[in-house]
Amino acid sequence: MGEAAHIYAASPRGPRYNASMTPHERKSIQNGVWLCKTCAKIIDAEEAAYPPETLRVWKQHAEAGAVRDSAAAVDQTGLLLADIVAARELLLSFCEAWQRNEPSMSFEIPFAVRTENSLKYSSDRVNAYHREIEPHIARVLVIARHILGSSHQAIVDLESESTDAHVNYIEMRECARNLQQLHSILELR
């Protein structure tokens, strides 16, 4: 549960009291910020560490988040969760299948043949990734940006990892881990 707190105190002895404000201004919603119970106590106990400017920024971020969250319907979040599960499972299956069928690196095969086989297989895998996997991750990112905002750390991490996921199996598994992280965050909404 949250607790309402004043940016500028309502009474003269309160934290961050501003004598130039009218009683009406002190009681207005513009002078309020909604915090968790612990934070509401901390900002008043450590007044110097939490100036009004900081509290106003917190309020702006919270209000922007509330507007963004209210724009994301429950159905949309539920569909996104299903898309994330599907994209993650598809990515892991893709990774396992391609890794299982990796060409032999046996020294019994001439080096030039091994190299040619490996390069062709790698090129085929990258092309297949872009065709079969990348569109699913891109779809997840588009919808997740709408719900969480493009600067959310889970979005930033997934964008970064998905850019390199086609490179090798380690990157693919890391991308799958980032999809799971995003799923966990959205599940709590």
Checking if the pLDDT of 173 tops 70, the result is yes
Query: Under 8 Å CB-to-CB from 4, ≥6 apart: which residues?
Result: 32, 33, 34, 40
Question: What is the rounded average pLDDT for all residues in the chain?
Answer: 90
**How much is the average pLDDT of 162-173?**
93
The ranges assigned to domains in the chain are 2-71, 74-187
What pTM did the predictor assign?
A: 0.62
Mean pLDDT, rounded, for 159-185: 95
Decide if 70 contacts 127 (C-beta within 8 A).
no
HEC letters along 76-145: HHHHHHHHHHHHHHHHHHHHHHHHHCCCCCCCCCCHHHHHHHHHHHHHHHHHHHHHHCHHHHHHHHHHHH
Across 66-80, 108-122, 173-187, the highest mean pLDDT is recorded for: 173-187
The three-point CA angle 163-167-168 to 5° equals: 125
Question: Band of the pLDDT at 75, cuts 50, 70, 90?
Answer: confident
Longest CA–CA span in the chain (Å) reads: 88
Measured CA to CA, the distance from residue 175 to residue 181 in angstroms comes to 10
* Amino acid found at 35: L
Residue 132's pLDDT band (cuts 50, 70, 90): very high
How confident is the model over 36-74, as pLDDT tens digits?
888 888 888 898 899 999 999 988 887 777 766 665 566
Would you state the pLDDT for residue 44? 87
Q: What is the 3-state secondary structure (H, E, C) of 12-36?
A: CCCCCCCCCCCHHHHHCHHHEEEEE
Pull the structure tokens for residue 152. 């959310």
For residues 83 and 182, the answer to whether their CB atoms sit within 8 Å is no
pLDDT tens for 79-113 read 999 999 999 999 999 999 999 998 877 788 899 99
The predicted-structure confidence for 19-39, as pLDDT tens digits, reads as follows: 999 999 999 999 989 888 888
- pLDDT at residue 189 above 80? no
> Can you give the C-alpha Rg of the chain in angstroms?
26
